[in-house]
Amino acid sequence: MENSFCSEYWPENQDSVYLLPQVPCYFPQIQCSHESFQERRESATRSHSEAEKRLRDRINAQLSTLRKLIPTSEKMDKAALLGTVVDHVKDLKGKTAEISKVLNTPTDIDEVTIEHLNEEEENKGCLLKASFCCDDRPELFSELQRGIKNLKLTVMGADITSLGGRIKGVFMLCPNQNSANDVCMNSLKRSLRVVLSRIAISPSTSNYRIKSKRQRFFLPAHFS
């Protein structure tokens, strides 16, 4: 055990170490530092144990922040702590999944979709269903309202859900009464998509966004 430090590039034991030449090298450019093999060996094992200490500390730091997140996890050993963490994660995952089934919860993928309801009657009383999903931010609604107004559309209904810094919205839109009757629904759809995409999808990171690790949380905002 004491002399088990025996990789192929280290001498088998201390005795043979002292048999190896420790004279300065004749070629200065490849002359290594004057530390002996003994010293190199010691510094290697020292740095090894220091690295191991760092690794342990990193893991233990995460464990202790987990401990802060789990109530009554004081005085639990590591395995028990991890066990309750597993339970918490399962529990919370189940709850949020359950909620998503009823609440039309935002995902973490930016998207804009435009649908065309009442296709048969092309122009009169036609409804567009526009949905988007993006990061939530305070100016979002005013920007959306301005964009919708500029396209001469009226919001007939809306369903908005904001959760965990993300927001998902569905608008029911129809052309203004006083707008020209000859408006082409397909070009309107295209313009609407462009407008919404510009507002909802951040241009720099057009999907596969770099998200900040810490999320912001807002209360659901309701469009009136």
Residues that bind a copy of itself (CB under 8 A): 1-2, 55, 58-59, 62-63, 65-66, 69-70, 78-79, 82-83, 85-99, 101-103, 163-164, 213-215, 217-220
Residues 67-86 that bind DNA (CB under 7 A): 77-79
Q: Closest distance between a copy of itself and the C-beta of residue 168, in Å?
A: 13
List Cβ neighbours of 54 (8 Å cut-off, separation of 6 or more).
none
Q: Least Å distance between CB 60 and DNA?
A: 5
CA 108 to each of CA 27, 100, 168, 192: distance values in angstroms, whole numbers, following the listed order: 61, 13, 10, 22
Min dist CB 219 to a copy of itself, Å, is 6
3 state SS of 210? coil
Query: Whole-number minimum distance, CB 87 to DNA, in Å?
Result: 17
In the set 35, 48, 108, 222, which binds DNA (CB under 7 A)? 48
Identify the sign of the CA torsion 120, 122, 124, 126: positive
Provide φ and ψ at 135, rounded to 5°: -65, 140
Nearer to DNA, 46 or 149 (CB): 46
- Which one of residues 53, 137, 149, 211 is an interface residue with DNA (CB under 7 A)? 53
* Least distance in angstroms from the C-beta of 11 to a copy of itself: 19
Q: Give the contacts of 136 (CB within 8 A, at least 6 positions apart).
A: 162, 165, 166, 167, 216, 218, 221
Residues 127-156 that bind DNA (CB under 7 A): none
Contacts of 215 (CB under 8 A, 6+ apart): 164, 165
How many beta carbons lie within 10 A of that of residue 167, not counting itself?
Answer: 22
Q: Which residue type does 110 have?
A: D
Q: Select the binding partner of residue 117 from a copy of itself, DNA, none (C-beta < 5 to 8 A, by kind).
A: none
4 touches DNA by CB under 7 A: yes
Between CA 139 and CA 79 the distance in angstroms is 46
Q: List the structure tokens of 8.
A: 């192929």
- Least CB distance to DNA at residue 47 (A): 5
User: Per rule CB under 7 A, is residue 30 in the interface with DNA?
Assistant: no
> Which among a copy of itself, DNA, none contacts residue 157 (Cβ within 5 to 8 A by kind)?
none
Report if residue 54 touches DNA, rule: CB under 7 A: yes
Binding site for DNA (CB under 7 A): 1, 4-7, 9, 44-49, 51-57, 59-60, 77-79
